[in-house]
Structure 1
C-alpha cells in the first residue's frame, strides 16, 4: 500500500482550507465560496462513478457553498477539473489497473484525479477525500460532521493510493446498518454479497418442507434419519441442493458467494458412505469438503463458502477445497482478554488456521467481539482488535465477518464499529490513533474521560486476570474487573465526562449510553447479591423487602435502553420492555423465610466452574432463580445434586421446597426423581419424601421453572439432604454431541 502520511496530510488540510489566500504547494478548489472547477466523468460513466461525482458535488457545496457542475469528459475544455472514475485524463496520470476495491486520489499542479478499481472503489476514494483531506467525519449512524469554510484546498502533486487489507470486511453493529456509514467506511454486508449465508443446509433444504417426504436427504444418527444435518453422500441430496442453487443463482445473478454449510450443532450423518469418508478425512469435515467441491464443480463460475466451525473446524487429511470454494473459519472457542496470536484458548484455532492455509488460499474468518449472552456487559477487548486483524492478514485470511450485536445497541457499539471499520481496511493503523480521533470527535470535551474509562476497564481486566468470554455474564465478574469497587471507579470517570459536556444534550446522551453497561451490571449483580450489600433487597424486621429505590432505577434504565436502541439484551433474548417485566415479577415476589437461610451446605458433586453462582451457598442464600440459568442457580453438570444442609440446631421440619430449571436449549433438565432425607447427627439419614418427575415432552425448548414441595409430619432434624437424580441420557430430539451430558439446576432449598 502506498499512501502519504495520514496525520501530516490532515494537519496540512486543516491548516489550509480555512485560509482565503493561496498557499504555495496547494490547489485552491474553492475561494470565498466559489469555484472555477468542474467534476468530469467518463463519457459512459458507471453507476458508481456517477454516484461518486454526485457525492463530491453535494459535500463540496455543504463545506464551502460552491456548486460544481458535473460534465462528461467529451465536453471538457481544459478548465480546472476533478476527474472521477475511468476517464482518459485519469488514466494518463496512472494507467496501471487497480486491484479489487482499491483507489487512488491524485493531483498535479491544478487538477485532481480519483479512480477506483472494481465495485465501489471510486466511491471509497471520494469518501476518503472528504474525510482525510476535507475534515468530514461519519462517526456512527448519525449525520456526517461537515466543517464549514469558504475556501477549500488540496496539496499539489498528491498520490494517495490505497488497497484494502481484506477482500471482505464486515463489522456487525447498528452503525453498519446505515447505508452511508457502510460506504463511508468501505464495509460490506453479507446480505449484499451472499445469495445464501452462514449455516445454510436448512435454508436450502428445510426439514419442514422435505423431511417427511425425503428423509434420505437428512443425517442418519443412531440408526434413524434425523433433521439435524444433511446426508452428504446421498446422490438425492446432491441433486436437490444443486437444483435449488440453479434456480437461486438464476434469480440472484449478482450474488458473489453461496454458502453450503452445516447447521449450528452436531448430529452429522453416520451412514456407511459418510462414515467411510469421515474416517478417511479425519472428521466430518471430510464429507462436507467433498460435497461442496462437487457442488462447486457443477457451477464453476460461482464462488462457494462453507464453515470450518466446531465439528468441521479441522482441515481434511486428503481433500483440498476447490479453487472456487472459500473456507470460513471460526474463532468461537477463544477467550478475548488477549490477542488470538497468543492466548492459550486459541491454540486449536491457530493450528486449524495454519492447516487450512496449507491447502487453500481462500480463507475467511467469522470473528466475535461482543458478549452474546449480555450485549450490554462491558466487554473490553478493544486493544486486541488491531493485533488480531494484523495476525489474520499475516496468515492468509482474506475476509472477516466481525460479529458484534447486530442492529441492537451494545457496549461501546459506535466505538467498536468505528475502530473495526478502520482496521479492517488497514490493520497497520494504531488503535491509539483511531481511538483518540473518535473519542474527541464523537464525545467532544468528554472524550478524554471516556477514553480513561475504557483504559481503566482494560487495565482492571488484566490486573485481576479475568477471562473475557463471549458467553460470559457480568454477574460472575462481581469479584474482579466488574466488582462494585471497580464500577465506582469507572462511574467517577463518566461523571467527569458528563460534567465536561454539561448543557449539550446530544453529547450527554452519548455519555448516558456509554454508562448503560455499568448500570446493567449493577442491576444484574443486585439479583445475585440479593440480601447482601449491593443487593436489591433490604432488611425489614425479620424479613427482606425490595429496596424502595430499585423500581424507579429499573424504569430509568429501561427508558434509557430503549432510547439508545437496545432491541435485544442477548442473542435471541428479550428487549428492554421484557427486562422491565422480569424485574416487576421479581419485585412482586415475596421473600420466603426459611430455617435453612444462610445455613451451611455440603455437596457430594461440585458445581460447574463456568456457572459458579454462590457455589454451594446458592441453595441457602434466600434467592430464587429466574429463567437465566447463570444467575442464582446451582449448576451441576452430568452428576446428581446431593446437597446436605446443616441448620445448626435441630428444628421441627414440616415442609421442604425447591425449584428446578428445565431449559433443554442449554441441556438443563429436571431431575428424574427427588429424594428428601433428614438427620440429627449428619451421619444417619432417614427417608422423608420422594417424587418422580414427568419427562419433558419432545421438542420442548422453552425455559420453565418447576416447583416441588414435600410435606413432612413435623419431624425433628438438624440436617436435610436433598438428592435430585440427573437425567442419564439426553433425549434424542435434543440432538446432543457425543459425550454431552445433561445438567441439573436447583435454585434454593426452603425448609419450614
Structure 2
C-alpha cells in the first residue's frame, strides 16, 4: 500500500519534468502568434478555462489571444483547451476524476481535464507553476508581469488529486477564485444536504406533535433528540423527502443522513436490539442508510461516524453508495494523528471502517473552537496527517478551521492545507517559504521564525493542544508571558521590515492578533497580579489606564482582519468590547476573604482549572466565559471552606453562580452559608433556594446571591452549592453526562 502511495506521490510532482530540447515562445515582446482553441461543442468549464487563460495572458504580458472553435482552426500556433481532437491525438488516455494534464509538443500547448473542473485546475496550475502567478488568500492575484512567456517543448505535466473531496474551511476558501485556483471544494456545492441532517429532513417542529414515534425513546419517553430509525414511518418520510430533493437538485453529488450533534439515541425495543447486535447506535444508523441507499442506487449518501457512532458496526457493512465521514474530534493536536496517544481510538476506528468499506471521508479540525484567535501551532502536522490518511483509505477531507471568521494564521493554514490536500507528498517547507515570502514580503522570514519558535515552545513545554482549550490555561507553558515577549520581538522585526507598505504591515498586524488576544485574556486571569489588567491604588485596585485603549485598538484591528466571532457560536467583537467595558466599569470590591486559603470537599475539574481553589478568593469576578475566573466542579456539590486567617466581624457573604446549559452548567439546587470560629463547629448563616431551569433556555446568565449575616465574628466561612442530581430532561444528554456547577468570587464583607 505504501509503495503504491509513494509511486503516486512521485508522479504527482509540484513542478513538471521539463525537456531539455528547447522552449516554446508563447509570448515574445508582449506579442503572441497563438490562438486559444476550444472544442466545437465546448462544455461550460472548457469555455471558462479558455477565457481565464485569455484574461491572465493579457494581464501578465499584454498579449491578446483570440479564442476560436476547433473547426475554425487552420494549423496556426495553438493552445488547445479541453477535449479537442488535437489533445486526443496527443494523448487519448481518459483522464479520471478531476485530473488534468498540461502538455506541449514542438510548437503547440494542450490543457485537458477530466470531469468537473479539471480543465480549470489545469489553467490555474499553468499560471502558478509556469507563469509565476500566485493567489495567496482572498486578495488580488499576484501577477508576475513579463513581456516574454516560454514553455518547455515536449512537456507532459499530468496531475491527479490524492483525495476525491478536498475542503479547507477558512475565510480565503469563501473566495470563488481562490477555491478553483487551489482545486478545493465547498460542501454547499457538493452536498444536497450536509452535516447533522436528521432534523433538517424531519424537523421536530413539523412532526413531533403529530408523530412523536418518529423520534427517540429515551428513559421511556419520546423526545426530539434523535430519530427512531426502526420506525417505518421515518423511512417512508425520508424516501419521500429524497425523491423530491434529488429531483430539485439533480447535480448534487452527496446526500447526508446523519444524527444530531449529541446523544439521546433511541432505546425502543427494535433499536435496542439492533444496538446490541451491532455494538451501538452506529448499527441502526448504517442499516437505515443502506435501506435509503438501496432506494436510490444512483445517488451517494454520507453519514457521520462521530462520538456515539464512531465505531464500525459489528455485522453490517455500508452499501457501495454510502460514504462514512469519520471524525477525529477527540485527538489533541500537538503531534500527528498517526502517533499521538489521544488519537488511539480514532486510529482503531479508522482501521475498523477501512476493513468494511472503501468509502471513507474525514472530518478533521485545525483550530481552537473555543478561541479562534488563540495561537494554535499544529502547522507541521498537516503533511504527516494527510499522508497517514491517504494510506488508510481516506478519500476525502473536510479540514475545519475558523470558517468565515479570521482565526490564527488563517491565510497560511488555508494555503498550506489546499496544497497538501491535492498532493500530500509536497514539501511543507517549500510551500511555507513560498507563502511567507509572497504574502508578507520582507516580513516573511520573521513571521517564519515566529512560527518556528512557537512550535518549538509547544514541543519543549510538552503542552497538549486541545481544539477546545483556552490560551489562559497555557500561561505556564508555550503562552507564558515570557514566551509571548519572545514572539513579540520577532513580530516587531516583521513590522519594521515592511514599514511604509500598508498592505504588508496590515498582514503582519493580523498575524499579531492571536498574541494580543492571549495577553488580554490572560490579563483577566492574572487580575491583581503581575500581567493583570488591575494595578494597586492604596488598599484597593483600579484598572490599568492603558487597558481601555488597548482593548479598543484590538477590537478595531479585529474588524479590519475580518473577525466575526471569537469562538464557535460565540461573541462578536462588539460584544467583546462591551464585555470589557463592563469589566472596566466594575469597581473592585475589597473582601475580608481576599487571597484567603480555600479548601474544597470535591475537586475542581481538571479541564477547567482556573486558579483552582484560589479562584474563589482572588478578587476577580467571572464573566460569561466559564473557563476564566470560575471554579468549575463537575457532577458534585460545591463545598468550599474559606480560612480568613483570623477572627473577623462578618456582615454579609456574596457570590455568583453561572448558568450555561450549552456546556451543561446549571445553577445549584440551593446554596447554604455557614460560619465558624474554629473550623470544626459551623453555625448556619443562611440558605437560599435557586431556580433550576424547568424549560429550555440556552442563554448564559450570571446569578447573584446575597446572604446578610447577623453581626458575628468568624474565621471560617463555608459555602455549599448543591449540584443538580441530573441534567434537566430538556437538555438532552447521554445518561452518563452530569450537571456541572460554576462559582466565582466569594465576597465576605
The TM-score with structure 2 as length reference comes to 0.98
Tell me the CA shift for residue 697 of structure 1: 3.1
Task: Please point out which of 184, 189, 203 is paired with 2:186.
Answer: 189
Q: Deviations over 1:385-418 (max 9, x none)?
A: 0000110000000000000111000000000000
Task: Please point out which of 149, 156, 161 is paired with 2:158.
Answer: 161
Query: Is 1:440 matched up with 2:437?
Result: yes
Residue 213 of structure 1 aligns with which residue? 210
Following superposition of structure 1 onto structure 2, how do residues 340-489 of structure 1 map, counting pairs within 5 Å?
340-489=337-486
Tell me the CA shift for residue 6 of structure 1: 3.9
Residue 284 of structure 1 aligns with which residue? 281
CA distance in 1, matches of 2:221, 2:680: 48
CA distance in 2, matches of 1:235, 1:223: 20
Query: Is 1:77 matched up with 2:74?
Result: yes
Following superposition of structure 1 onto structure 2, how do residues 528-539 of structure 1 map, counting pairs within 5 Å?
528-539=525-536
Task: Please point out which of 336, 341, 350 is paired with 1:339.
Answer: 336
CA distance in 2, matches of 1:485, 1:507: 27
Task: Please point out which of 62, 86, 94 is paired with 2:91.
Answer: 94
Tell me the CA shift for residue 595 of structure 1: 0.3
Residue 508 of structure 1 aligns with which residue? 505
Residue 652 of structure 2 aligns with which residue? 655
Task: Please point out which of 48, 53, 56 is paired with 2:53.
Answer: 56
Residue 572 of structure 1 aligns with which residue? 569
Tell me the CA shift for residue 8 of structure 1: 7.7
Residue 324 of structure 1 aligns with which residue? 321
Query: Is 1:305 matched up with 2:302?
Result: yes
Following superposition of structure 1 onto structure 2, how do residues 595-744 of structure 1 map, counting pairs within 5 Å?
595-744=592-741
The TM-score with structure 1 as length reference comes to 0.98
Query: Structure 1 regions of 5+ residues with no counterpart?
Result: 14-22
Cα-Cα RMSD: 1.2
Residue 203 of structure 1 aligns with which residue? 200
Q: Deviations over 1:129-152 (max 9, x none)?
A: 000000000000001001111111
CA distance in 2, matches of 1:717, 1:282: 57
SS at 1:145's partner residue? coil
SS at 1:734's partner residue? coil
Residue 62 of structure 2 aligns with which residue? 65
Tell me the CA shift for residue 239 of structure 1: 0.5
CA distance in 2, matches of 1:583, 1:240: 49
Query: Structure 2 regions of 5+ residues with no counterpart?
Result: 1-7
CA distance in 1, matches of 2:563, 2:184: 23
Following superposition of structure 1 onto structure 2, how do residues 136-155 of structure 1 map, counting pairs within 5 Å?
136-155=133-152
Q: Deviations over 1:265-313 (max 9, x none)?
A: 0010011101110100010001000000000001111000000000000
SS at 2:89's partner residue? helix
CA distance in 2, matches of 1:327, 1:109: 47
SS at 1:323's partner residue? coil
Contact 1:3 1:159 in 2 (8 A): no
Question: Stretches of 4+ moved more than 2 A in 1?
Answer: 1-9
Query: Is 1:583 matched up with 2:580?
Result: yes
Contact 1:457 1:481 in 2 (8 A): yes
Residue 551 of structure 1 aligns with which residue? 548
SS at 2:744's partner residue? strand
Residue 20 of structure 1 aligns with which residue? none
Residue 176 of structure 2 aligns with which residue? 179
Contact 2:14 2:426 in 1 (8 A): no
CA distance in 2, matches of 1:260, 1:384: 31
Task: Please point out which of 101, 109, 112 is paired with 2:109.
Answer: 112
Tell me the CA shift for residue 690 of structure 1: 1.2
Q: Deviations over 1:413-462 (max 9, x none)?
A: 00000000000000001211110000000000100000000011100001
Contact 2:367 2:400 in 1 (8 A): yes
Tell me the CA shift for residue 358 of structure 1: 0.3
SS at 1:748's partner residue? coil
CA distance in 2, matches of 1:730, 1:503: 57
Contact 2:473 2:610 in 1 (8 A): yes
Tell me the CA shift for residue 664 of structure 1: 1.0
Residue 3 of structure 2 aligns with which residue? none
SS at 2:747's partner residue? strand
Residue 593 of structure 1 aligns with which residue? 590
CA distance in 2, matches of 1:31, 1:670: 76
Tell me the CA shift for residue 116 of structure 1: 0.3
SS at 1:548's partner residue? coil
Tell me the CA shift for residue 674 of structure 1: 1.1
Tell me the CA shift for residue 729 of structure 1: 1.2
SS at 1:732's partner residue? coil
